[in-house]
Structure formats: structure tokens, C-alpha cells
Amino acid sequence: MVVEQVSTEMLRGFSPLDGLKRDNLAALARKVQIREMSPGQLLFKEGDTEKRTLYVVSGTLELVDQAKVVGTVEGGTEMARNPIAPVYPRRVSARARDRVQFISIDSDLLDVMLTWDQTGTYEVSELASKSDQSNEDWMTMLLQTKAFHKIPPANIQAIFMRMQQINYRAGDVILKQGSEGDYFYVLNRGSALVTRETPLSKEGIKLAALQVGDTFGEEALISEAKRNATVTMQTDGAVMRLGKDDFKKLLNEPMLDWVSKDEADELVRAGAQWLDVRLPSEFENQHLDGALNIPLYFIRLKISTLDTSKQYIVCCDTGRRSSAGAYILSERGYTAYVLRGGINRDPV
């Protein structure tokens, strides 16, 4: 049961959270809640591999090895300052002796924040306008995405420092379908709508609704193609934008994992899924056995239908569109690979 949001003062009582800079700790505090367990309830079992960093706030947690209690962690003690059984897979089970309050933090997120915090000179508030908390929120959201866990800390700092803020009014078009790709965008205030014009719908069909922290514009930069959709502000707001060259060097290259056809076939035999991002007509004419077809411009709309526990090998005819598709999947926490050279290339 969720009890309450934590304070920065409480987080500062735990290690290594006490090493975070003030504003970065405050950003983390807004993402963490105190949870509660009943007596006898298990927090985790021996062998658990879920990457969560856990701390006891109050109550007593028993550490159990093969039905035998081998230790306890009591809230407020020196031992409780440190994460509970931090080694994966967990070597013991953890069971509540009485009513226990605890906090749980995504371990990857914490590692990224600690690394970035300790390798950079700037705090979140120094990179953002202190008068607008939404600036801080979009940065924290980006740091939480699984994709950013692949980005070197120096790159993350450079990305934030090179971004420009652009303000818009409701109804303003940020980018237009058919135009050249020049920037990568993060919405940092307001809301926007992504639409695609078709022969049957000149007003455009809705592809996605964007909120603070959402990103867009990457497809055209990666695939060297024209914009495949229009993004229009629904409210007054602002975006942060990053130039094409900086995006490719700092964000795109570290994020993509390329595989050969042989490597992809091995992954498929192990349970991965081919994901073809070409148009339906291209797919019908030629495709790999067992492939799923979601055209690149529909990825944002259909991404919720994909299985987050499955690995995807994204393919097209050359690798250009598939690299854009894999970026979008990776950005949203999916494990995605790009088929090098595309399906039209003879295996080497």
C-alpha cells in the first residue's frame, strides 16, 4: 500500500543517496513513494533478479535463508542506511516481522543518476530554468528511460547543455509532414498532437498525444528522410531541441545495437521476434518468415501492443527505417536490435 511521498531529508538518510546533489535528490524524491508490508509478507524471494534498490524506513525485516532467519534489518538503524541484499540474484529472502515501511528505487535509474551526478559539473536546476519546475521534470523523465541507461554520462551532460528551448502557442506547428529533418525534440511544457496526412484524411489521422517528457522528431534524423508526421501544440508550451549532428553523435549512436543476419537468426531461435517496419505493400511482396509488420509511422500508435519481455529485431530493406524504429523501441524500454544492411542485403 502506498503511504506517502518521501522527502529529500529522508532520502539523504540512506547510502549512497546521501551523495546526490541537492536538486538531483529532490528530483528523485518526486519519483519515490513509501510502501507498506504486513507481518509475514515477503519483500522478495531468494533468487530474485528484479533490479530494485530497497531500503527499510520503519519496522523490522527478516533475512531468511532456507527457512532460517540469518539476519534482520530494523528501520532507523545504521544497517538500514544501506540497500537490502543488493547482490543479484538475491541470496536470501526478505520477510516482514511486523508492519514494515520501505522504499523501492529502480536500480538502473539510480546508477545513471549517481554516475551522471558524479561525473558532471552541473545540477539539474543549473541546466534548467529555476522558475519552471517542468524543466526539471522532463530531464528526470529522460534519465528514467531505459534508453538513457546506454548513454555515457558525458554525453548526457552534453545533450542537456546543447539543447535550446523554443516556446510555442496553442495551434502552432512544431514540425510539418514532408519537411526536412533538422532537430530532435523533447516536450518540456504543455501538450501536443502527432498527426499524419493520408489520401483519405487531409486533416490527418491521430498517431499520438504528447505530454511533458515525450520525445519526437528522431525518425527523420536517423533515416535521413523527410518528416513522416506533423506535430502541433494543443496548448501553450515549449520544447527543448537538439540539432541533427549532436543528436546522431550523442544520442543515436550509443543507443542502437546492430546485428548481422546470422546473429539475428540466433536471437530468433532463442525467442526474439522479427519486426518489419516497412509499408504493408512492401511487406506483402517480401518478408522474413514469422515477421510482424508495423510501419514506421505507426510505431508510436502500436507500441503498446508489443511485449516488453520479448526481444525485437527490427528490419527493413536497407536498415535505414529499421534503425529509426529500433531507436523508438529502445527509448521506451524495449530490447531492440537493428538488422545490419536490411533484408535485401546478401548475408556475408
Q: Which residues are catalytic?
A: 316
CA dihedral 180, 256, 254, 133 (to 10 degrees): 70
Q: Are strands 237-243 and 164-168 parallel, antiparallel or unpaired?
A: antiparallel
Comparing C-alpha atoms, which of 155, 160, 15 is closest to residue 82? 15
The whole-angstrom separation of Cα 218 and Cα 50 is 31
332: amino acid identity, one letter: R
| Cβ atoms of 51 and 86 closer than 8 Å | no
Nearest-5° Cα angle at 346, 344 to 348: 140
Comparing C-alpha atoms, which of 52, 50, 45, 88 is closest to residue 67? 45
DSSP 144-205: HSGGGGGS-HHHHHHHHHH-EEEEE-TT-EEE-TTSBP-EEEEEEES-EEEEEEETTEEEEE
